[in-house]
Structure 1
Amino acid sequence: MFRCYATTESLHVGGTTRGNQSSSVVSGSDKSQREHLGDLETQLEELFSEIKSMIRMGNKDDDVDLLEANYEAVREEMIAGGKTVEEVVILDVIALGYMAIGDFKMIESVLREDEPLLDSILTHMGSMHSALGRFENSMLLYKRVLEITERNHGVNSTSLVMPLLGMGKALGSAGRATKAIDMYHRAISILESNMRAKSKELVAPLNALGNLLIEEGKVEDAGTAFLRIVGIYTKLYGKDDERVGMSMCSLANAKCAKGDAEAAIDLYRNALQMLEHSESKDLDDTILEKTRIDLAELLHVVGIEKKGLQLLEECLSITKIYKGEEYPSFVTHLTNLATSYFRSKNYVEVERLLRPGLRILKNTVGPDDSSITFTMLQLAVTLYNLKQDEEAEQLALEVLRIREKAFGDASLPVREALECLI
């Protein structure tokens, strides 16, 4: 009996052979992923142990039959679309088997199957290292992916786009913006030469490029990238599509960074109108919420405070209706609205908003959590302006106590609390 045959659904004991014909047993598994991977590891160990046992006994023909059966099974999985780490480890074990029996010609065939999977595995690993802040490790992995992909598909293949975007993100996060920008430009150039100029595949690298350019203060170039995204979505989906609205928000951000507040306000207003009329967006959608807040903040900056106040009140009202007063963002909207009233020196309204916000925060995170101190300090300053000095002082003292415990005596948050107390 040949006990072990490879498939990505599962590697099972129980295959049989008649003469020189081997069969592979394929069945689904209802186990969790962790259990499944544990089973896979155990069965791969069994497979390799059986190969070594056959070699010791001189059963080379049976050994070859076993390897061929598993090789064909995993190839069928790959043809069907399986390109995960499971296929990689199975192919590696099969290659080790052929090496053990000295069939080097078959090793080359197995490795040719293995290598196309390597780039996707390395890309995934690069992404995880980047997410963990290990940018140097991430860049090394992406560099290897690019080398493999260029060798297998050429320097102008669209397969290079994903690792180029990953490399660009890692470089940008590591402070190497110039190199990152080059990566994004190369990805855009590859897509332009392989696809239409208005292809939606261009959106991802253009968006990444635009965001990085804003961080680097190159707002004119950032605006060009976001404007192009607006054009792509408009061409593909029509001028009233929600995707056009979301890309207009990015363009508005670039206009803000440039100092063109009037153009940014117009873009935000148009975007908000599109998003509010979108069938896929609820009134309490997070993107809609962020757009309202960004527009309100900009209106306050340019002195149109009444309109900004209306938007913030709308955010508060929607959150209260759809999510309730205990929802975390409800406190955020209370604080934003209080800040708006504070700018106009309407301290009575500020106090009215901050007190319930502070109560909700204490009930949610606890009375000694450092996150509540921002609202407490804002309320202390408000009470000071309302001549309620004693309560203001007590709040500032409480903020100082919590922050000393959370951040240490010599921290900047403690300094802020001391200044308020003084």
Structure 2
Amino acid sequence: MNVYGIWRALNIAEQNKGKGGSIGVATCGLARIKYAKGDHDKAAELYHSGLDILRKSGLWATGDIALESVKMEAAEFFSVVGRTKEAQDLWEEVLHEKERSIGVNSPRLVVHLQNLATSYAQDGKFERCEPLLRRSLKLLTTSLGPTAPQVSIPLEFLATTLHHLGQNLEAESLARQCLNIREKNFPDDHLLIGEASNILASVLHANSRNDEALNLAWRALHIKEKHLGKNNKQLAFVLDLLLDIMDDLGKTKEVKPVLDRLDALLGGSSMIAP
């Protein structure tokens, strides 16, 4: 546990003497130590124990920011170690508590909506992501305006989700909005523009708009190379997309160097996970 973590645990414990809060927070602090040491099973057991103590203490739904951070920390742990159902239960619990404390129309809910949506996406439950992301987009658009750079985040996430759900016409519209916002707010070679170009290229390819998709995929590749390096394995996804687009366009002469590069990146296997 770092110095800040220890201070936070002690501070919360001092404020909640005799209420069960100190034991619950301390138990979650011990879980953090076990996680750092790689003992994920013990960390999960301790997080569950600490959170259960906090629930029974009467402090759980008080809206205390420090206790909320403990819950979010536990949810992040469960998400990172692949225990997504436990993460989703916690993200949902935090979201509902926040709705009760600040109202259902507060833009401060956006981070909690996106945390829960991210966890569902990690599990491939894109149909459950969609309503959360639409709500997130509406809250940010109402609060900041439709062209604020922050709005591009739920636009990107929602476009990706709809793409996975096969709703590619709407996904294309949202992905274009995302790219347009970022082009107006960031340098041409910004990584966020590379990500938006990549997503729009994928959607356009699904919509058989392959000439534009090819240009955007190359743009995404060049930007990502600049920021991530030419040997980063994350480039494999855009290289694989390029191969698919080239194949549909019949550009057989241009395929081999891209395929060779993809094979080199992946150690001789150009199979990409969906």
1:181–1:216: structure 2 CA closer, same or farther, 3 Å change rule? farther
Report the counterpart of residue 189 of structure 1 in structure 2: 53
- Indicate if the aligned counterparts of 1:146 and 1:164 stay in contact, CA closer than 8 A: no
Q: In 2, are the aligned partners of 1:292 and 1:315 still within 8 Å (CA)?
A: yes
Deviations 1:23-49 (A, max 9, x none): xxxxxxxxxxxxxxxxxxxxxxxxxxx
Structure 1 match to 2:2: 124
The residue that corresponds to 1:332 in the other structure is 195
Instruction: For 1:22-421, list aligned pairs within 5 A.
Output: 123-124=1-2, 158-159=21-22, 163-172=26-35, 174-177=38-41, 179-187=43-51, 189-190=53-54, 193=57, 195=59, 197-201=61-65, 202-214=67-79, 215-217=81-83, 219=85, 221-255=86-120, 261-279=126-144, 283-285=148-150, 288-361=151-224, 364=226, 369-371=230-232, 373-374=235-236, 375-398=238-261, 403=264, 413-417=266-270
CA RMSD in angstroms, aligned pairs only = 4.0
Alignment partners' CA distance in 1, 2:249 and 2:125: 37
Q: Secondary structure at the match of 1:197?
A: coil
1:158-194 deviations in Å (ceiling 9; x for gaps) = 4556654443234345242354343354256347626
Residues 1:208 and 1:360: Cα distance change in structure 2 (over 3 Å): closer
Tell me the CA shift for residue 316 of structure 1.
0.8
**Cα gap change, 1:180/1:357 in structure 2, threshold over 3 Å: closer, same or farther?**
closer
1:303 deviates by 1.8
What is the letter of the counterpart of residue 210 of structure 1?
A: A
- The Cα of 1:126 is off from its aligned counterpart by 8.9
Calculate percent identity across the aligned residue pairs. Answer: 14
CA contact (8 A) 2:27 2:49 kept: no
In structure 2, C-alpha distance between the alignment counterparts of 1:262 and 1:376, rounded to whole Å = 28
Change (3 A) 1:262 1:331: closer
> Cα–Cα, structure 1 residues 295 and 361, in superposed 2: closer, same or farther, change >3 Å?
closer
Any unmatched runs of 5+ in structure 2? none
User: How many equivalent pairs are there?
Assistant: 264
Check whether the contact 1:331–1:357 (CA below 8 A) recurs between aligned residues: yes
Q: How far apart are 1:252 and its partner, in Å?
A: 3.3
Q: How has the CA–CA distance of structure 1 residues 213 and 326 changed in structure 2, closer, same or farther, with 3 Å as cutoff? A: closer
User: For residues 380 and 251 of structure 1, do their structure 2 counterparts lie closer, same or farther at Cα, with a shift above 3 Å needed?
Assistant: closer
Equivalent residues of 1:181, 1:209 under 8 A apart: no
Larger CA Rg, structure 1 vs 2: 1
Native 8 Å contact 1:165 1:183 kept in 2: yes
AA at the equivalent of 2:210: Y
* Secondary structure at the counterpart of residue 149 of structure 2: coil
Change (3 A) 1:164 1:291: farther
SS of the equivalent of 1:414 reads: coil
What is the alpha-carbon distance in structure 2 between the residues aligned to residue 397 and residue 327 of structure 1? 27
Instruction: Label 1:170 to 1:295 Cα distance change in 2 as closer, same or farther (>3 A).
Output: farther
CA contact (8 A) 2:20 2:53 kept: no
Deviates more, 1:309-318 or 1:350-359: 350-359
User: What secondary structure, in the 3-state scheme, does the structure 2 residue paired with 1:324 have?
Assistant: coil
Is contact 1:252-1:263 (8 Å) kept?
yes
Structure 1 residues 227-265: Cα deviation after superposition (integer angstroms, max 9, x where no partner): 322232222212111222322233334555677644431
Greater RCO (CA < 8 Å, at least 6 residues apart):
2
Quickly say closer, same or farther: Cα 1:386–1:247, change in 2 above 3 A: same
